[in-house]
Chains A and B, each alone.
Chain A
Amino acid sequence: EPEVTQTPSHQVTQMGQEVILRCVPISNHLYFYWYRQILGQKVEFLVSFYNNEISEKSEIFDDQFSVERPDGSNFTLKIRSTKLEDSAMYFCASRWVPAADTQYFGPGTRLTVL
């Protein structure tokens, strides 16, 4: 069964460093998402991406964040200058059609900012 994959599973970085989190969505899906979950809190939407551009972003997704689909398979989230409060689980999700369809999640990347 097709699945969303994410690498790395765990990333430790120093405050102020740049990190890139990688995702391979399900191959025939067209819509891509990043969510995050800070420990003990709910899963929060960060950004949605379709047709090589951002379709929606949350207030969390400020200028320090960017997303890219560099080729036909990968979908990346870059944090330019990490802060302590960026420590969280980051989940990538994908879905096939825009509405009334299920988003499938990857296993997540645990980002720890020291």
Chain B
Amino acid sequence: DQQVKQNSPSLSVQEGRISILNCDYTNSMFDYFLWYKKYPAEGPTFLISISSIKDKNEDGRFTVFLNKSAKHLSLHIVPSQPGDSAVYFCAATSNTGKLIFGQGTTLQVKP
């Protein structure tokens, strides 16, 4: 079941630069998308979400872009900070409520 895919297992960026994490989905019934951040041995922490009726949502340093025609979303972090280093999960849901997660991308922000 690969309904949500994060094709980059890892990403390394320099502090202060932009981090771009990508996510693709296949199920056109998904109508709400979320990004979670996760540290080892902790639960996923909600970062930002976007409804399918929008194409952009911004919260501080975090912006999520949704391209419905391409079934693609991305998370931009600007500027990146060393404390942003973690695993980032993209998740999608429809009106059933259950979240379908991608495999995660490990972000390393170097000082």
Q: Chain B residues near A56 (CB, 8 Å)? A: 96-98
Q: Is the CB of B98 within 8 A of A105?
A: no
Q: How many A-B residue pairs have CB under 8 A?
A: 65
Q: Please, which residues of chain A bring their CB within 8 A of the CB of B85? A: none
Which of A31, A43, A45, A108 sits near B42, CB closer than 8 Å? Answer: A108
Cross-chain contact B98 with A33 (CB below 8 angstroms): yes
Whether B98 pairs with A100 at a CB distance below 8 angstroms is: no
> Cβ of B25 < 8 Å from any Cβ of A?
no
Scoring B residues 19 to 36 as 1 if CB is less than 8 Å from chain A, else 0, what string do you get? 000000000000110101
Tell me the bound Cα distance from A106 to B34 in angstroms: 16
Chain A at the B interface: SS class: strand
State whether the Cβ of A13 lies closer than 8 Å to any Cβ in chain B. Answer: no
* Chain B stretch 52-111: residues in CB contact (< 8 A) with chain A: 89, 91, 93, 95-104
Task: State which residues 6-21 of A face B: CB under 8 Å.
Answer: 6
Is B16 in contact with chain A by the CB < 8 A criterion?
no
Task: Determine whether the beta carbon of B97 is less than 8 Å from that of A99.
Answer: yes
19 A-B residue contacts at CB 8 Å? Answer: A4-B43, A6-B43, A31-B97, A33-B99, A42-B102, A45-B98, A45-B99, A45-B100, A48-B98, A91-B44, A98-B95, A98-B97, A99-B95, A99-B97, A100-B51, A102-B46, A103-B99, A105-B36, A105-B44
A interface residues (Cβ-Cβ under 8 A, vs B): 4, 6, 31, 33, 35, 41-45, 48, 55-56, 58, 89, 91, 93, 95, 98-100, 102-108, 110
Which residues in B have some Cβ–Cβ distance to A below 8 Å? Answer: 31-32, 34, 36, 41-46, 49, 51, 89, 91, 93, 95-104
Known contacts A45-B100, A98-B97, then 12 further A-B pairs from the complex at CB < 8 Å, ordered by chain A residue? A4-B43, A42-B101, A42-B102, A43-B99, A45-B99, A48-B98, A58-B98, A95-B97, A100-B51, A103-B46, A105-B43, A105-B46
Question: Which A-B residue pairs are the 3 nearest by beta carbons?
Answer: A105-B43, A43-B101, A45-B98
